[in-house]
Amino acid sequence: MKASLYIGRPFGIRVTVHWTFFILIAYVVYINIRHGSPMVEVIESVIFIFAIFGCVILHELGHSLAARKFGIVTNGITLLPIGGVASLTRIPEEPQKELFVAIAGPLINLAIALILFFILLFTGFDFSSLFSLHYLNSIGFLPALMLVNVMLFLFNLVPAFPMDGGRLLRAGLGLRFNRLQATRMAARIGQLFAVFFAVWGLFHDPFLILIAVFVFIGAQAELQDVQSKSMLEGKKINDLLMRNFTLLNPQMPLKQAVDILLNGQEEEFVVHNGNKVVGILTKSLIIKGLSEYGQDVETEKIMETDFPVFTKDDAVKDVYERLQLSGTRIAPVLDNDILIGVIDIKNIHEYLLVFEATVKKKWF
């Protein structure tokens, strides 16, 4: 995510903290000062928040390392006020694999809680005090951290898709239903939980309203993504290949590219030197090139040279996923190293709109 502070790369996975996380820290400090807490307790509260989010990082690393077992890369982990997000390049579609990846995070919290339990047991801690006190900071740092990890474990098992428990639910449903059906049922159940969270939050804890919004929107977004990919099942690039497109020359002045952009519907272009594709030029690169170099700069100076290349027999579903992950909107399609067309993510979206309009939607 943008506006995030880099804090490390455990196991080669980039971990960052989003700037909104520090709003939570400021809020904790404010609440403590408002209640007249001495500075020592204010510092302890802040340290406790960092300890909780250290456990959250371990939770997300659990997901990431479990996904790595199946060859899935994690782009990074970002800490937010409501928790952590591991950005996996994809979610495994096989139910058993998704179950393994989803349960890995909560099991980390359970392991932390058990470790702290045995440490406290060894030191002679009176566990009966946990049932007579109402505030975490009144029972000590380690007991409070143990309870928080127990709560994180249990909360993440709530079947509110796309939370971990919801993914476990989808994985279980996936053993009996196809992925789209399992996702649709898990998403609707997750949204019901979101409504419950929101209502409960109105009367007890406003923080639950934020979680409700995340769950409701996240469930719908993931359902839409799975629906889109199911529509592309069995389609090859050759079925959606764009054969009418404008080629740019690498020595062409940017002004000519601007004229083509303004006089037509195309916004992304393939740059071709006569015998092979050498680059991609997008609308954003054109605007950036104009502001930095002016309209006389040659196209090859501002074009993108790192881009995916596909063949006509590649599956559109896989291509769509790769384009989404790379942020690339257009890619050349080759046949025996000869350019035969392009695949445009905008054209894929248009196909999905047409397909969706011609079939009857199924609702859970």
| DSSP states of 95-133 | HHHHHHHHHHHHHHHHHHHHHHHHHHHHTT--GGGGGT-
Is the domain of 113 the same as that of 151? yes
Band of pLDDT at residue 361, cut at 50, 70 and 90: low
Asked whether residue 164 is domain-assigned, the answer is yes
Q: Residue 138's pLDDT is what?
A: 60
CB atoms inside a 10 Å sphere around CB 236: 16
The domain tally of the chain equals: 2
Average pLDDT over residues 113-125: 93
Is the domain of 303 the same as that of 285? yes
Find the domain containing 115 and state its range. Answer: 4-231
Q: Is this model's pTM higher than 0.85 or not?
A: no
Is the domain of 158 the same as that of 257? no
Asked whether residue 216 is domain-assigned, the answer is yes
Asked whether residue 130 is domain-assigned, the answer is yes
- Find the helix or strand (DSSP H, E) in which 261 lies: helix 254-263
Is the domain of 98 the same as that of 246? no
Asked whether residue 363 is domain-assigned, the answer is no
Given a cut of 90, whether residue 62 has pLDDT beyond it is yes
Is the domain of 345 the same as that of 280? yes
Is the domain of 160 the same as that of 251? no
Q: What CATH number corresponds to the domain at position 327?
A: 3.10.580.10
Q: Report the alpha-carbon distance of residue 313 to residue 311 in Å, rounded.
A: 5
Asked whether residue 291 is domain-assigned, the answer is yes
Q: Residue 359's pLDDT is what?
A: 64
Q: Residue 188's pLDDT is what?
A: 95
Is the domain of 126 the same as that of 214? yes
Q: Are 287 and 309 in contact (CB under 8 A)?
A: no
Given a cut of 70, whether residue 333 has pLDDT beyond it is yes
Asked whether residue 128 is domain-assigned, the answer is yes
Asked whether residue 9 is domain-assigned, the answer is yes
- Hunting for tokens 């896989």 — which residue is that? 318
Q: Residue 245's pLDDT is what?
A: 87
Band of pLDDT at residue 346, cut at 50, 70 and 90: confident
Given a cut of 50, whether residue 364 has pLDDT beyond it is no
- 332 CA to centre of own chain: 27
Average pLDDT over residues 301-316: 91
Asked whether residue 322 is domain-assigned, the answer is yes
Is the domain of 156 the same as that of 282? no
Buried b (16+ CB within 10 A) or exposed e, 87-120: bbeebbeebebbbbbbbbbbebbbebbeebbeeb
Q: Report the alpha-carbon distance of residue 69 to residue 125 in Å, rounded.
A: 38
Is the domain of 195 the same as that of 120? yes
Is the domain of 242 the same as that of 227? no
